[in-house]
Structure formats: structure tokens, C-alpha cells
A and B are shown apart, each in its own frame.
Chain A
């Protein structure tokens, strides 16, 4: 009566997956884009509607691309950290995602502006290219426009030090 043994086999298979799962880090969502060139874009500049912001501006140094929007509550939580990061000299570019210009400008005026510039992605096309799940998301982009890392959710000092800073240091050699 081998069919009565099916459940125990299923359980063992499940158990094997769990065992494997214990040693994987589930908070780390690997983007398929990591190690690949950042999708190119040129979008209107938030603060200067006639001008543009694009991958060309980002190239040449380590920079962050931060997806944000005024409707995003978590973006507010990470805002202070972004400000301190910008102060320490890290160039941060914003991708203002599916937002309204007036509200976005008001947000930056009230809360402070950590961004070198923010690109306006009103329809969300560029966000799709970048595989954005939701705001906030942050990409670390290398000087050659390679995506080095991606974080979903608000950035914090802990995440920065664990995930982003080591990458910059290792690529730089010594800090």
C-alpha cells in the first residue's frame, strides 16, 4: 500500500525546503537587474520643468536612485536618513514616481531636499524598467551605470551599513 506513504514523502520534501530556507535571508530580495546596466532614461527635472534628469547625469560616480512619492508614508520615514546621507556627500537622485508636481515640490520645501535632482516619472514607465514594486525603493548605481544593489522599503543606517556601504568600499578599494 505505497499510496499511504505519499504524505510522509511530501512532508520530507517540504522539510528539506525549510531546512534550506533557514539559512537564506528572506528580507533580501534580489533584483534580476543587479550587475546589469541601469536602464537608460531621460525625464523632466522636478524643480526645473524645462530641464531634464537622466542616466547621463548619474554616470561617473557612485550614486543612489531613490524612488519616492508624496503619497508614500514610508518615504517620510526614510527622509531624515536620506538628508543625512546627502549631507555626508553621497549623491542621491530621486525618481518622483506617479506623483503631482505641486505636492512633490511642497514636500521637498517642507521636509528638506536630499536630492541632487529628482526626475519626474509621472506615468511610471521608468519605474517599470527598473522593476519597482512600490515606494520607497533605492538603487545603488556604479560609475559605469551598473546597478550594484537594490533595497525595497525605507533605507536606514543599519541597512546602509550592511548592504550599500560595503559595496562602495569594495569597489573603491580602501574607503
Chain B
């Protein structure tokens, strides 16, 4: 009975979403205030019912209701409680429900913040979000109902995919989803601007914190996914260019471009139609991400059950939402006039270069991800481009981006004397190059061209992010940085640390696979690892061989590592749990391979210098984003807000500042 209530709540939520889409949009078009004000109540109601549906599904998992098909497929009575709750998003149907929940949350937040915006505009934003929400809820109800019953019920469930039974994996999908779905907000703002036919700097100021907010979650979500892949898949890599990884990375790249383009639109009132296009593209790529994972169009380690019917529905949804907004764009975008120009050497130019390079990178990744599909659809057979392709095409736009970034941060708006710019930063560049040449030789005893280029880029970005805050800190008379400026420097510092980590790790990783017997000691990158023993351990729903390894350097004990090889009882799938001794400067990674007979095991041991910088860098980036998104001007005093309101309220004043 309870699951049926969940389904009923979902149907009601869907009806409310349709109201939230239709009434405010129609009201804004015809100027009917009573219809426009419906948006907020519809959004609130929808949120309540999605929460009920979500709670009901969670209840079914917690109480082991295996008469619900989705629960039977993704849970088991032995599954620990935490994973039962997380199992809600362990499969396709539940993760769609999570998607809807996240969207409802964002919508509620947008509705609350929209009180300071003109009613017509705020209603259109909520209306567009309603369309998206209605589409996804219809999709859930028609093709992927999580409340479907399984009759007769099974005694026990099929268990959660062991890959997902991990703390990082519990947090990874919701964070990523908050980010994905969050891109719906700038999208809705963009479409609302297209519908209104006008776009000013206030628009950019309203849109920016939402975009940065979504971007923060995407950043953390992607980093967490990469961290999970690193220790859970047991391969020791941190990025695989898997279609699903790419699916999350592409909206991130577009979102990053959008943030920077919004900065120009807010500050200077230019790049307007471009900004709108980026907002549409970022959300389209988020939807595409959903499409790629769900439809089985591309295979990946992540794919949930794939089904052409579902794929077709998502494709239609994609065409309706993105196609519709792009048609609108085709007719309306020329209305957005630039409010000024800029010189070649200026902040604007650097941000334009940033945008072009990010979009090129995103385009190349999209091409690489979809290449198998193009190839196959042309009748030439299915083929995939692998990691080498992505590593090369990604570096081509990203290296110049890193070098321009250092300059761009210090460039002034509108125009700047190039000599001033270069004069300030020349020494930083030389210092970065010096560090890049000397550091690898001292620390790792070897070097290479790409290593030097990579570390130079990383150190350059790091130093140029630090110079301004540090010099202002030293000079007590200097004007203090605003919170947004702090955010910018800190986020870029994260980028620099990330590049350093990625360059050092890819150049100096040492990977060994070898057969080892108990009692043997072998050496990896100056560390002695001794295979001390092996025992059987039993988890709640798995049994495991657990190895004990002692890590020593120059005879001195460092750590005991206990990697596991788990077999989950229900699914009988083997899983590798690597053991890692992680320090900021390096990781030592030990994973149990296979028993080779005679007490010998194949053991994968890896030395990964500075790999933590990769995730640490991402966290710093997100922190920078957080500072930027919470800048004072987004929480402006009421007086200015009222002024902004009147500015938008009168169409005659639009366009020319």
C-alpha cells in the first residue's frame, strides 16, 4: 500500500510540475498577474510531493520490501543500512527520482530568491524549470517507475552493485546530480531572457551565483568520482575518459566557460548572446549526460540497464528542451546588443580566449565520446577512440589556457598596456620554468619535455594566483580584495595545484605487477613492501581475502596496508579494495590481484607521487567558487535591489546603459 502512495505522490508532483510550467509562462505572455504568482506555490507543492515519493522509496529499501521490483533488484536484507538508503540511487529508476528531487530543491531555492526579481521574469524562470521537471517526471512515470511491483515478491533481493558499496560512491551521485541539475537554473534564466527579449547586467548578476553553485557541486562530484575510481576499480588511474566520466566533465567545461562569460556580461554588458548559448549548451550537455548513461548508446563501466525505449524518450526530451530553446535563440538572440567594445589586450580578450579554448576542449571530448556512435551510424562498424586520443586533444587547448590564465587574471578590463602586464609577470614565468626544470631532477631524478611543460604551467598558474593576494597582504595600504576576487584567485590556485599534481603523477608514477609469496619483500620506488600474510575476513554481505603488507623505507616502518579481494555473496562479483598509504607528497597503493597457486599472488603495487594534489586542487577550486558565489553584491541591500527591479521593469530603459 505504501509504495502506491509513493507513486500517487509522484503523479501529483508531475501534475503540479505541468501547472508550474504552463500557468506562469502563459501568465507572463498575457500579463496575467494571478497566473504568474501561481509559479511559486506550484513549485512548493511539487517539492513536497517529490519528497514524499522519495521518502516512500527510501522506506521500501529500509524495510526490505522486496515486492517492489526496484528494491528487489538493488538491495538485499544483509545490506548495511547506510547502503540501503544510498541504494535508492543505485539504479536507473531511483536515480531519476533523485534527479527530480534535486531539481525540486533548486527550484524552491530559485523561487525564494526570485522575490527580488521582477515578477514576469521570475515567473518565466520557474515556468522553464517546470517544463524540465514535468519532462523528467513523465519520463520516470511512463518508462521507469521505481514503484512497480514484483509479483510474486522474492524472498531476498539481488543486492546493490558491489561497485557502489563504498562511502565515496554514496556521496558521488547526489553531488554530481546537484551539479547536473543545477545547470538547469542558468538554463532557465537564459530561456527567460530569450522570452523577455532583453538581457542586461542584472540578468548576469542574478544568474552568476547559481551557475557557480552548480559548478561547485559538479567540481566536487567529479573529483569524488575520480577518487573513487582510483581506489575502488583497483587500476590505480584517476581518470579513464570513460563515456560517463566525459558526460560529467563536458557540462563542467561548459559551466566553467559560462562562469567566465557571465563575468564579462555582468561587468561590461557584452558577450550576451554567447553567454545565453553557453547556458543552454551546459544544460544540454547535462541532459546528454543522462541520455548517454541511460540509453546504452555508448557502453561504459557505469551504464545502468539500457533500453532503447527509454533512450528514445530522453532523446525526445532533449530535442524538446534544448531544441526548443535553441529555436528561440535563433529568433531572439540578435536582440541582445553589446553595450561596449574592448581592446585586444584586456581582461575581456583573455576571457574570450578562455571561452574559446574551453568550448574547443569540450567539443573535442564530445566528438571523442560520440565517435564510436558516428562511426557505427555511418555503417562503418563500432569503434572507440581511447585514452591516447583524449589525452592529446585535451592538452592541446588546455596548455595554452593555463598560460593565458596567469596573464588574464592580472589584465585590466577594457584595455591595458601589454608592457605593464608582461613586466609584472615576467619574473613569475621565469621562476615557474626554473622550478619545472629543477624540481623533477631533484625529486625524481629524471625529466622530460612534457613534464617540464606541465609543471611550468602548473607552477605558473599557482604563482600568478598567489602574487596578488600576497602582495596586497604585504602592503598594508593596498585596497583589500573583495570576496569575489579572493574566490577567483583561490579557484585558480586550485587549478594550478591540479595541473602540478596531474603532471607529476603522470610522469613519475611507478606501477608494478608481480607474483609475490607470503614472506617475500620487494622494492617499489625506494619503498620495501613485505607480504606478511593473508587471512579470510567476513563482511556483512561479502567474504574477502585480506592481505597484510608492511611498508618500509630504509628499514623504517611506515604503515601496514590491508588490501582486500572481496566476493559479494549475492552477486558473486569479485571486487578489489586497494589499500593506500596516502601522504600529500605521494601515495603507495597496493592491490591484491589473483591467487597464482603455490601461495603466490599477483600483487599490483604503485607509487603515485603528488596524486593527492589532483583532488586537493579540485577542493580548492570548489572553495574558491564558494567564496565567489557568496560575494556581497549578490546579497545586495534592498535599496539597490529595488533600483534593479525598476530598471528591468521598464522595457524602454533596456539595451543601452
Contacts and interface: CB of A to CB of B under 8 A. Distances in A.
B382 A28 contact: yes
A174 interface: no
Interface stretch (A15-23, A88-96, A139-147, A164-172): A15-23
B373 A18 contact: yes
Interface in A4-47: 4-5, 7-8, 11-12, 14-15, 17-30, 32
Contacts of A17: 370, 373-374, 377
Contacts of B295: 18, 21-22
Given A4-B329, A17-B370, A110-B596, A24 B291 contact: no
Contacts of B297: 18, 21-22, 26
Given A21-B373, A26-B382, A8 B329 contact: yes
Interface stretch (B104-112, B308-316, B439-447, B485-493): B308-316
A110 B594 CA distance: 12
Contacts of B299: 26-27
B448 interface: no
A135 to B, nearest CB: 14
A160 interface: no
Contacts of A20: 373, 377
A169 B295 CA distance: 32
A37 B389 CA distance: 31
B315 A23 contact: no
B288 to A, nearest CB: 8
B414 interface: no
B315 A11 contact: no
Interface in B365-388: 370, 372-374, 376-377, 381-383
Interface string A70-85: 1101001000000000
B326 A24 contact: no
A64 B5 CA distance: 54
A70 to B, nearest CB: 8
Interface string B258-297: 0000000000000001000100110010000001000111
Highest count of chain B CB atoms <10 Å: which of A24, A70, A107: A24
A1 B593 contact: no
Contact of B318 (A15, A25, A103): A15
Nearest to A24: B376
A8 B296 contact: no
A24 to B, nearest CB: 5
Contacts of B296: 26
A106 interface: yes
Contact of A29 (B318, B382, B598): B382
Q: How extensive is the interface on chain A, given as a class?
A: 20 to 34
Given A17-B370, A30-B381, A7 B315 contact: no
Given A17-B370, A103-B515, A110-B597, A7 B277 contact: yes
Contact of A15 (B280, B298, B319): B319
A70 B597 CA distance: 12
Contacts of A32: 381
B327 interface: yes
Contact of B280 (A5, A7, A18, A26): A7
A22 B315 contact: yes
B31 interface: no
A98 B594 CA distance: 18
Contacts of B370: 14, 17
B620 to A, nearest CB: 33
Nearest to A15: B319
A71 to B, nearest CB: 6
Interface in B224-273: 273
B520 interface: no
A85 B465 CA distance: 62
A24 B373 CA distance: 9
A153 to B, nearest CB: 10
B513 A19 contact: no
Contacts of A106: 596-598
Nearest to A26: B299
Interface of B: 273, 277, 280-281, 284, 291, 295-299, 308, 311-312, 315, 318-319, 322-323, 326-327, 329-331, 333-334, 370, 372-374, 376-377, 381-383, 513, 515, 593-594, 596-598, 602
25 contacts: A1-B333, A4-B273, A4-B329, A4-B334, A7-B326, A8-B323, A8-B329, A11-B319, A11-B326, A17-B373, A18-B311, A18-B315, A18-B373, A20-B377, A21-B373, A22-B311, A25-B382, A26-B373, A26-B382, A29-B382, A71-B513, A71-B602, A73-B593, A106-B598, A109-B597
Nearest first, the 3 A-B pairs at minimum CB distance are: A110-B597, A8-B326, A30-B381
Given A7-B280, A7-B326, 20 more contacts: A1-B334, A4-B333, A8-B323, A8-B327, A8-B330, A11-B319, A11-B323, A17-B377, A18-B373, A20-B377, A21-B297, A21-B373, A22-B315, A26-B297, A26-B298, A26-B299, A26-B373, A26-B376, A73-B594, A103-B515
Interface of A: 1, 4-5, 7-8, 11-12, 14-15, 17-30, 32, 70-71, 73, 76, 103, 106-107, 109-110
